[in-house]
A and B are shown apart, each in its own frame.
Chain A
Amino acid sequence: MSTTILTVDDSRTMRDMLMLALSDAGYRVVQAEDGVHGLEVLKNEMPQVVITDINMPRMDGFGFIENVRKSEKHRAIPILVLTTESDAEKKDRARKAGATGWIVKPFDPVKLVNAIRRVAAA
């Protein structure tokens, strides 16, 4: 069985890159285009890790994380925030919302996988 990772990003480029890096590393990937879509996908999926962007239409990363943490079924899923913002303020907001960790864009695949390993036994 391979580990499932949900990626939530409004940028197709980013989704494609994540897909490439993650599937190369042996993960199964499910994708969503924004927070609302991410929550929808979670109705049918139980990923081991979620990777989410911050700036997205409809529901941004903060809102998405808060919603996941409110869900009895999903709140234990580690969530990595994927963002170009490396400033402390964004990180703090993400953490307050319940993010498990973060990945700074642009990421390289090794760092990406390391970050995943840091939050999940996967």
Chain B
Amino acid sequence: MDAMAAIKQTFFQECEEQLAELETGLLAIEGGQSDLETINAVFRAVHSVKGGAGAFHLDELVGFAHIFETTLDHVRSGKLAPTPDLLKTMLRSADVLADLVRAARDGGTVEESRRKALADELARWSGGAGEASATAESESSEGDSLEGLNFTPIQISLDEIEEQGEAPTGDRFKVTFKPHRGLYAKANDATLILRELSSLGSAEIECDQSKLPKLMELDPEEAYLIWNITLTTDKDEQSIREVFEFVDTDCDLTVSKLDPPGLESIDIAAMIAAAQSGPRPEAQPDPETPQSTLAPAAAPAAPAPSAGQDMAAKAAAAAADKGDGNVAVTAQTTIRVDLDRVDRLADLVGELVINQAMLAQRISEGTVGRASSAAVALDELEQLTREIQESVMAIRAQPVKSVFQRMPRLARKVATLTGKSVRLIMDGEGTEVDKTVIERLTDPLTHMIRNAIDHGLESPEKRRAAGKPEEGTVRLSAMHRSGRIVIEVADDGAGINRTRVRQIAVDKGLIPADAQLTDDEVDNLIFLPGFSTASTVSNISGRGVGMDVVKRSVQALGGRISISSNPGKGSTFAMSLPLTLAVLDGMVVTVADQTLVVPLTAIVETLQPKQADVHGMGGDSRVIAIRDRFVPLVDVGQVLSYRYEAADPMTRVALLVETEGGARNALLVDAIQGQRQVVIKSLEANYGRVPGIAGATILGDGRVALIVDVDAVVADARGDSYREPSMAMAS
């Protein structure tokens, strides 16, 4: 990848950041936070996108950003008030800008009519006459900078400038240049300007030092010298004035055209050298102006700044000597690393953890005592390994902001389509979670937000009738809770209509008509496949993609989803997800001579079944009384087809587990080996999908152990139809 392509990639990355910034800012302003800093941040975001886009010839993007920027500038200067209507336009413009950026990056197009409509709308706000004029304005004001943008870095030699004008041809101009003290105060340097001027052709320069006071009276910051130049050049007056572009307010300048040449030229290089190196005994004789003795004037002519510059040069020379000349020193605190490298590191650390566990086991099997120095060193190694692992995981951790920031846009779209008014409040965007989790969070979250607006919130009329504000609120929040991340989507809608949900479930044959269900169980019916409470097929939530899909994708992430609903007040969906998909705290157990791992997060407690507590329910079904409740007793060995006959609970151990829906079950295993952190390896990627199994891991002794998918095992034991039937496992 060449350097420019790399910068372009940076540009698009930066654009995404700016777009997020833009949206955050606009939403903050919408929320009443219209302080200058927020408005400035919004302005800067658009400005930055425009600036970079210009460098890459992305004219459409530049054009739109320019119009947007103009409107924002009016807001910034107080000419326009950030009214709700204007903010709506701006938020939609931010969407178009985002689409334009993505179109430029991925090579698509943005609907012309949509872009133009918003450009016109923006222009109307800022009092312009629409896209055409705004674009024209942008082009005329930045005319010459927009053309010839082919950015190909070139090597320029200083000599190019100075080796010109061997045989002066063209017109002769008389230039009078009288710097003011402000010129020097701004670090401009008359000699440099004269040097540039002389590069236009052939110049005769004389210095009028008649204003120069005696040394004692000399103010080092004052400008006393006047330069008279006769320039022979084939350039026009405009080009000459351009040389003085930076100083035109800090000097008196006259440029006038002279009659054809007649004067001999002066060695300009020598003069500049003289002006820079101080007094020189012999000045160039001048036939016309006898007062012109150039050299002695030079030193005082370049006042204080020049001396400062020398010091500057020396200091920089010293600095440059320390480092080596060309190496760029960047004062940044972040670096960008290819994700593959981080993943490779994470993999290696995973291997290290396994290796360390193996070593620990080997040593403990040996004759080395617990208190021996080898065992102590091993403990330290374990600590270190864990820390390394955590640090690597932290590299992969990202704030959920990257997912959250897409949601306001989605919410606006859904609100528009459903004719509802919604306010999305976000909280905890800075909460960090593994990158993989973030990537796979988008879909379920998108669906939950859609669902909250489409199904959760009532129509404005109904809300008004219920005495609520017409604008519904959806609150999206993230937080860390006991080693997991919990993401909640809460709406202030009508809540779940339990009677209706129950009726639908009965109608669809999902539950028997006489089923006794608690409120929670009724609420959880909406997670069943094929359940849809919308009375009409809405094109937003769509048929076939329901909460069951959300539930499954959350489960696939090792997460749980739960719902709590309050009639008339709203519903809250809570997803609880592991912070990383790479490691898991597990309980290592034995089942039918097999070693399995049960995720610790699912386990509530462990217990030794007593004969009196276990009751048969007919067939193989049994329940166990735990305190005052009966919970189903599930023989893991039987469900996973390690054995045909149900095992005797008395000699075994029961793990009380909680499933996603909050239901409790007791998993019967033969024995508990211990508790440890395991590195998850995908079974699907390495072998194939096995029902009831979530993945595999390598234990300390080098054996492969399967990780139990608690929910699947429980569902299988209950005979739930949507689970594939269990099959014999290759062990």
A-to-B contact residues, CB < 8 Å: 1-4, 10-14, 16-17, 19-21, 23-26, 28-33, 37, 40-41, 44-48, 55-57, 69, 74-79, 84, 86-87, 92, 95, 98-102, 104-110, 113, 117-121
Contacts and interface: CB of A to CB of B under 8 A. Distances in A.
Contacts of A121: 189, 191-192, 276
B151 A17 contact: yes
Interface string B242-256: 010110011000000
B151 A104 contact: no
A101 B193 CA distance: 12
A106 B149 contact: yes
Contacts of A86: 141-142, 145
Top 10 nearest A-B pairs (CB, nearest first) are A76-B308, A101-B246, A46-B315, A24-B153, A76-B305, A106-B54, A106-B55, A13-B11, A13-B52, A78-B187
A47 B191 CA distance: 20
A119 B309 CA distance: 11
Contact of A99 (B186, B276, B309, B321): B186
A86 to B, nearest CB: 5
Contacts, number: 199
Interface stretch (B40-48, B366-374, B382-390): B40-48
Interface in B292-321: 304-309, 311-313, 315-317, 319-321
Nearest to A105: B51
B47 A55 contact: yes
B331 interface: yes
Nearest to B3: A20
A117 B156 CA distance: 11
Interface of B: 3-4, 6-7, 10-11, 13-14, 40-41, 43-44, 47-48, 50-52, 54-55, 141-142, 145-146, 148-156, 158, 161, 185-189, 191-193, 196, 243, 245-246, 249-250, 276, 304-309, 311-313, 315-317, 319-321, 323, 325-332
22 contacts: A2-B320, A4-B316, A11-B48, A24-B154, A30-B329, A31-B332, A46-B311, A48-B312, A55-B40, A55-B47, A75-B308, A76-B307, A79-B186, A100-B187, A100-B246, A101-B245, A104-B142, A105-B54, A106-B54, A108-B149, A109-B153, A119-B246
Contact of B312 (A29, A56, A76): A76
Given A24-B153, A102-B246, A31 B11 contact: no
Given A17-B7, A84-B47, A105 B316 contact: no
Given A17-B151, A55-B43, 12 more contacts: A13-B11, A16-B7, A28-B325, A30-B328, A33-B331, A55-B44, A76-B187, A76-B306, A76-B312, A78-B188, A117-B158, A119-B246
A113 B43 contact: no
Contacts of A108: 148-151
A117 B196 contact: yes
* Residue among A2, A28, A29, A79 with max Cβ neighbours from chain B (10 Å): A28
A1 B312 CA distance: 13
A15 B397 CA distance: 27
A81 B422 CA distance: 44
Contacts of A20: 3-4, 7, 153
Contact of B51 (A11, A77, A113, A117): A11
A122 to B, nearest CB: 9
A107 B702 CA distance: 61
A98 B186 contact: yes
A92 B188 CA distance: 15
A119 B47 contact: no
Contacts of A118: 192-193, 196, 243, 246
Contacts of B141: 86-87
Contacts of B191: 121
B326 A28 contact: yes
B189 A4 contact: no
Given A75-B187, A104-B145, A2 B4 contact: no
A19 B312 CA distance: 21
A95 B155 CA distance: 30
* Residue among B43, B150, B186, B309 with max Cβ neighbours from chain A (10 Å): B186
A23 B54 contact: no
A25 B153 CA distance: 8
Contacts of B186: 69, 78-79, 95, 98-100
Nearest to B276: A121
B331 A31 contact: yes
A99 to B, nearest CB: 7
Contact of A106 (B145, B161, B312, B330): B145
Contacts of B245: 101
A25 B151 contact: no
B328 A45 contact: no
Given A100-B186, A100-B246, A108-B149, A37 B320 contact: no
* Residue among A33, A56, A121 with max Cβ neighbours from chain B (10 Å): A121
Contacts of B150: 108
Nearest to A58: B37
Contact of A119 (B44, B149, B187, B332): B187
Contacts of B48: 10-11, 13, 55
B152 A109 contact: yes
Contact of A109 (B50, B154, B326): B154
Contact of B153 (A21, A31, A74, A78): A21
* Residue among B51, B142, B305 with max Cβ neighbours from chain A (10 Å): B51
